[in-house]
Amino acid sequence: MDRPYGETYMNLRGKRVLVFGGGGFIGSYLVRALIDIGCDVKVLLHYNSMSSLGLLDADIVDDVEKIFGDVRQLDTVQGAVCGGIDVVFNLAALIGIPYSYEHPQEVFEVNTMGTMNIMLASQNARVKKVIQTSTSEVYGSAIYTPINELHPLQPQSPYSASKIASDAIAQSFYNSYGFPVVIIRPFNTFGAKQSMRAVIPTIISQALFSNEIKIGSLFPCRDFTYVTDTVNGFIKGAEEGRDGEVYNIGYGQTVSIGDIVTRVLKLVEKPKMKVKTSNDRVRPKLSEVKLLFADNTKAKKELGWNPVVNFDMGLQKTISYIESENIRYNHGGYVK
């Protein structure tokens, strides 16, 4: 297929890049990594009355061009993409699965229509490449393991459905127009700065600051990747990814939620702390994905991506951060 828009492979150094969702957990790490590479970085942040920069680190905010807006507004997205952007990273999304049950329309508008706006604006601006963020949740409960990129897509929640639709939109721009798109599909990412919406910070914060751990289902198994390795997957995707392709970014091993609890309690030296199942933390029955286990062969072979932070190393890094940021994490609450 003819590719009229630009190169498939590129060196990001010196490129002008735009990150949608750059104030989020993964996005903030990506912004730092892009600055370290030598990129000229622009970030679109969701508007808020306090002009919060999200999780962007204070020492890099002056090195970033910041725009406040909403990906649901096409004119805002078009304004952000103008000015000679080489690469767009789309990390703008509402990612809470329980939240998607309560507010499915909002989740679809942000995740799906937001992606359409980004693709339209990027195509019109002749961006050289768009990196679309997917999620392992699109696979649903595994039919086979490890899960490769050919595994059927199974929408088990409004969130996963919105991301399947988003990926299809991005893929359609390649299939229809030859527009250069690479889809990065992270499995579960964790690390320092992650909010208590995610299971690992929830477990760690309770282990450090509470007398017991309240948790939902203990049986689900996930493939966790430390955030810096996930970010490296995005960068490798931009530099080495083949247009129109999907790449799993996952460590390639599984751990159950129950085992995470055991490991965390051992690391914080509280192995006998009481663990109690809390019904308000259990996902809707039909939405619970029982097992996610990444086949990362394609990313290793085509992108040259290899994770370097193993799970226990990542846990210790995350524990150290949460312990130092106790004011942010010590309430022990559940965040949807």
* Residues 135, 103 share a domain: yes
**Dihedral, CA of residue 215, residue 21, residue 28 and residue 85, to nearest 10:** 160
Prediction pTM value: 0.94
Q: Name, in order, each residue with C-beta under 8 angstroms of 176's C-beta and a sequence gap of 6 or more.
A: none
The parent domain of residue 161 ranges over 16-189+226-249
- The answer to whether the peptide bond before residue 146 is cis (omega within 30 degrees of 0) is yes
- DSSP letter for 104, please: H
Weakest mean pLDDT among 78-82, 107-111, 144-148, 288-292: 288-292
Amino acid at position 137, single letter: E
For 220-257, the pLDDT digits (tens) are: 999 999 999 999 999 999 999 999 999 999 999 999 99
Q: What's the CATH number where 203 sits?
A: 3.90.25.10
Is 304 among the domain residues? no
What confidence tens digit (pLDDT) does each residue in 191-200 have? 999 998 899 9
Tens of pLDDT, residues 319-330: 999 999 887 887
Q: Are residues 162 and 55 in the same domain?
A: yes
C-alpha distance from residue 138 to each of 31, 107, 248 (Å): 25, 15, 11
> Do strands 16-20 and 87-90 pair parallel, antiparallel, or not at all (unpaired)?
parallel
What are the CA-CA distances from residue 329 to residues 25, 28, 143, 211, 325 (Å)?
A: 15, 19, 36, 14, 7
One domain, residues 81 and 161: yes
Q: Give the list of residues 6+ apart from residue 285 with CB closer than 8 angstroms, or none.
A: none
Judge contact between 320 and 256, C-beta under 8 A: no
Does pLDDT of 7 surpass 60? no
Q: Is residue 322 part of a domain?
A: yes
Q: Is the CB of residue 68 less than 8 Å from the CB of residue 47?
A: yes
Whether residues 119 and 239 fall in one domain: yes
- Helices (H) and strands (E) counted in the chain, each on its own, are 12, 13
Residue 3 lies in a domain: no
> Rounded distance, CA 258 to CA 275, Å?
10
CB 163 within 8 A of CB 214: no
Task: Check whether residue 36 and residue 136 sit in a common domain.
Answer: yes
Q: Which secondary structure element, helix H or strand E, spans residue 238, and what is its range?
A: helix 227-240
Query: For position 1, what pLDDT does the model report?
Result: 36
CATH number of 28's domain:
3.40.50.720
Closest CA to 242 of 183, 176, 296: 183
Same domain, residue pair 42 and 76 = yes
- Tell which residue, 193, 206, 140, 141, has the closest CA to residue 24: 193
Q: Does residue 61 form part of some domain?
A: yes
Take residue 101 and report the two structure tokens written for it: 């049950």
Specify the pLDDT at position 4: 45
**Per-residue confidence band for 71, with pLDDT thresholds at 50, 70 and 90:** very high
Asked if residue 335 belongs to a domain, the reply is: no
Is 95 in the same domain as 238? yes
Q: Do 151 and 273 belong to one domain?
A: no
The domain total for the chain is: 2
Same-domain check for residues 272 and 177: no
Inside any domain, residue 156? yes
Closest CA to 267 of 190, 331, 208, 201: 208
Same domain as 126, residue 213? no
Q: Does any domain span residue 336?
A: no
Q: How many CB atoms lie within 10 A of CB 220?
A: 18
| Inside any domain, residue 5 | no
For the beta carbon of residue 210, count every other beta carbon within 10 angstroms.
14
Whether 51 and 136 map to the same domain: the answer is: yes
235 and 105 in a common domain: yes
